[in-house]
Structure 1
Amino acid sequence: MNKNSVLFGITGLFIGLIFGFFISNNLNRNAIAYQNTAENVVNAPFLNQQTQAVSVKPNEGGMLPEVSETLDQAKSQPNNFQAQTKAGDMYAKIQKFDMAVKFYEKANQIKPDDYDTIVKIGNAYFDSNLMEKAGNWYEKALEKKSNDVNVRTDFGITLLQKENPDYDRAVKEFQTSLQINPQHEPTLFNLGIAYYKKGNSEEAKKILSQLKAVNPQGQLTGRLNQVISAK
């Protein structure tokens, strides 16, 4: 099998995935956020603040040729940072995060110090529910930019959701984020969840009060109230 045959097969698969994406229920971060059980609240991927779900419209002109061109360039130019990043972005858009990681990690090998790429790798692992790996990459990002509230909050979420949760460390990370932005709603929400998981309902209620002061009618305010009030 020659290179062109392989590329044609990959491109065809990618295009098929895109159409499959349109036909599916298009579950993304925001849709999952509306799950109704308290147990699922903490696991909602929308809590990760770095990447946004992108709706790719099937009638966008030139989309399919762009897919072919992007994958061709990424395969034929393995040392092209932009090409690897763009291919990773395309896979992330259709939620094929395992493939996105492969291209992002190639980009990281080319430019190990590129902050955005490091965060994207963390996000892709997060959305794959691989919390240990996501946390490792978020830590690398924070070594370069310690005041990034979103990344630090995402790191805290991985500590809550990994196989062996570290609630104390998660609380510490959320508190650090709030020192930078005291009104950051996702951080307040997750700090409340962390206290709740620790069994500290009084602290969780205090955080709920803070969240209500920031946004009384906010979705996260309602969600945290729902969790704390659950019997």
Structure 2
Amino acid sequence: MEGNKLIHAEFIDTNNIDEIRYKRLIKITQHQRLSGKPTKGVHSDKKLWKSIHNMNNDTAHKVSRKIVNLATAYNCSVIIFEKLSGFKAEKKQSRAKKLNLKLNYWMYGKIIEYTKYKAYAEGILTVEVNPFMTSQICYRNELAGERFSPADIKGKSLIMFSDGSILNADFNGSMNLHRKFWGTFPSLKGRKIKEERKEIKKEIERFINKTLQQCRVAHIQDTVA
């Protein structure tokens, strides 16, 4: 960012680490179920745990280096991270999913930790910002939004705003972190965000249904052709 102007945007590829780690955790939890508890030897899966740890740590180093390199290339003075709250897993999630999410939080923490010392060596400040409401307000204005993830867009969350516009939710959130850091994030006092989002949810349903219908029609036309 240069003032309020975006000069470069880039999504850093982590080589599907989340999916790879999850598959390994499934194997570990399956072995634990067979043995009844974590046991020594084959069922403890020491090699799998070690590979997961090494993969997480290696990814954290690579991502942090990429972030600092980008910050240096564009003469950034501050790197802003989202400050995550304590880890919370849903009760209905499988043990493997809970472990995967927990390890993802751990890796995110390591990315921040490694970025801090690498950025410091380049004279760049690293800060963490409270992300409250950053994913629910459009970064370009003050419109409320609602996140959704179409089934055909694997692993990517979108956000629709009350004017019908749609953005990548992660991109929108990161832009709002910038506004929070500089104190330009809008005040939401007195606004009934939940009610605004209810209306957007209805619009999202209409949008998804319309999109699915268009896909079906296109498929039929292709088949006939």
Q: Name the structure where strand makes up a greater proportion of residues.
A: 2
Max Rg structure:
2
TM-score norm. by structure 1 comes to 0.25
Between 1 and 2, higher relative CO (CA 8 Å, sep ≥ 6) is seen in: 2
TM-score norm. by structure 2 comes to 0.25
Q: Name the structure where helix makes up a greater proportion of residues.
A: 1
